[in-house]
Amino acid sequence: MRLLFSGLLLGLAIYCGLDPFNHRSTFGFPNFVSHKVDLPNWGDIPSESDSDNLLQKSEIKFMGQVQGPESIVFDPFGKGPYTGVADGRVVFWNGDRWVDFAFTSANRSTLCEPQPSPLGYLKNEHICGRPLGLRFDKRTGDLYIADAYFGLMKVGPEGGLATSLTTEAEGVPLTFTNDLDVDEDGIVYFTDSSTNYQRRNFLQLVFSAEDTGRVLKYDSATKETTVLVRNIQFPNGITLSKNGSFFIFCEGSIGRLTRYWLKGPKAGTTDILAILPGFPDNVRTNQDGDFWVALHCRRSSPNYWLSTRPKLRDFLLKLPIKAKYQFMLFIGGWPHGIIVKYSPEGEILQVLEDRPGKVVKAVSEVEEKDGKLWIGSVLMPFIAVYDLGLTN
């Protein structure tokens, strides 16, 4: 029996070392390195929760009609929603059906045809495009698009093929353009999540926690692109404050909201607005000036432990375990959507969640309109709508 057990252990060790089926999460990434995440103390991570799991009361709309609706916007006339989907289109709800509004790739082909799930488009995203953050310029009606592969783009009120505005900064290409906001003067603030990993390799970026992310500014008048903040671990959502005195952006790996001052004595500096209870995606400002933050999941104690121990993370990622299973371990075992509303001072005002992941399994963005939250997710084939009146 001892000999048999020893033989099994030896066989397992050889299998793990050789990985004959190339299942390990870092296969194909010979330069992959895990980085330490300097997290706040465990006790400083907010524990406020929604014990009623109110997100389960959301209405699921357009099931199967929109694959991976990351960002949701309404035009200056209140029409919509508009959303970017996994096959590279920006689509518009005209009141009866979804119609094509814009494209980010001039090379669309049969490779961009419908797939059974949002993840089915990953391997061809660099060809078909992947529109992520969307914002309308309220003055002109132009739609600004952060395409993960083609950079910062713009399309006019009539739609069609989007025009490229910028694809690099300081000679470094935009590799993972993620989200944006535009001010009243036409200046666009946007994030580039990594200079090493494209969006189709976002799991490796999550596992690595490397810090090549940037926050940038594009001046529509001068056509200049400027780096405002650099060396960020997975910068994601970005939004201007109601009065335009600052913007905030989400730091994905650390899990916090960082404020960048645009006006006043602190202009050009950053500070921490809030520590988040989990991993953020996008953030949006509502009409009251509060911020809705979409979180993929809560930070678990195993994740906290692994994030601060890159060598252990490297070891686990070299095991012949597929990336999707490593990711499930990373997020605590199952997908579960969380939305948190913050005041301009960084105080938690409201928490909405579906902790069991029964209805709203993932959240990428929250857009508040007429007392309702329009909830998009890059991983889901629908839009969820939550009536804020149910909270009262």
pLDDT-derived band at 330 (thresholds 50, 70, 90) equals: confident
What's the pLDDT score for residue 11? 47
Pairing of strands 143-147, 151-155: antiparallel
Mean pLDDT of 105-114: 90
Q: What's the chain's average pLDDT?
A: 92
Q: How far apart are the C-alpha atoms of 9 and 270, rounded to whole Å?
A: 52
- The per-residue pLDDT for range 74-93, each reduced to its tens digit, is 999 999 999 999 999 999 99
Instruction: Return the structure tokens found at 14.
Output: 């050889």
pLDDT-derived band at 324 (thresholds 50, 70, 90) equals: confident
pLDDT-derived band at 70 (thresholds 50, 70, 90) equals: very high
What's the pLDDT score for residue 22? 64
Q: How far apart are the C-alpha atoms of 92 and 71, rounded to whole Å?
A: 12
pLDDT-derived band at 12 (thresholds 50, 70, 90) equals: very low
- The per-residue pLDDT for range 24-68, each reduced to its tens digit, is 888 888 889 999 999 999 999 999 999 999 999 999 999 999 999
pLDDT-derived band at 385 (thresholds 50, 70, 90) equals: very high
DSSP SS3 for 35: coil
What's the pLDDT score for residue 154? 98
Report CA-CA distances (Å) from 116 to 88, 119, 379: 15, 9, 12
User: Residue 305: pLDDT above 70?
Assistant: yes
User: What single string gives the DSSP state of each residue in 245-261?
Assistant: SEEEEEETTTTEEEEEE
Pairing of strands 160-161, 98-103: parallel
Mean pLDDT of 173-202: 97
User: Residue 21: pLDDT above 80?
Assistant: no
Instruction: Return the structure tokens found at 37.
Output: 């995440």
Give percent of the chain with pLDDT exceeding 70.
Answer: 94
pLDDT-derived band at 201 (thresholds 50, 70, 90) equals: very high
Of residues 105 and 23, more confidence is placed in 105
- Within 185-309, residue ranges assigned H as helices are 202-208, 301-307
Amino acid at 323: A
- The per-residue pLDDT for range 205-256, each reduced to its tens digit, is 999 999 999 999 999 999 999 999 999 999 999 999 999 999 999 999 999 9
| Close Cβ partners of 212 (under 8 Å, ≥ 6 residues apart) | 194, 195, 196, 231
pTM to 2 decimal places: 0.94
User: Residue 149: pLDDT above 90?
Assistant: yes
- The per-residue pLDDT for range 264-293, each reduced to its tens digit, is 999 999 999 999 999 999 999 999 999 999
What's the pLDDT score for residue 49? 95
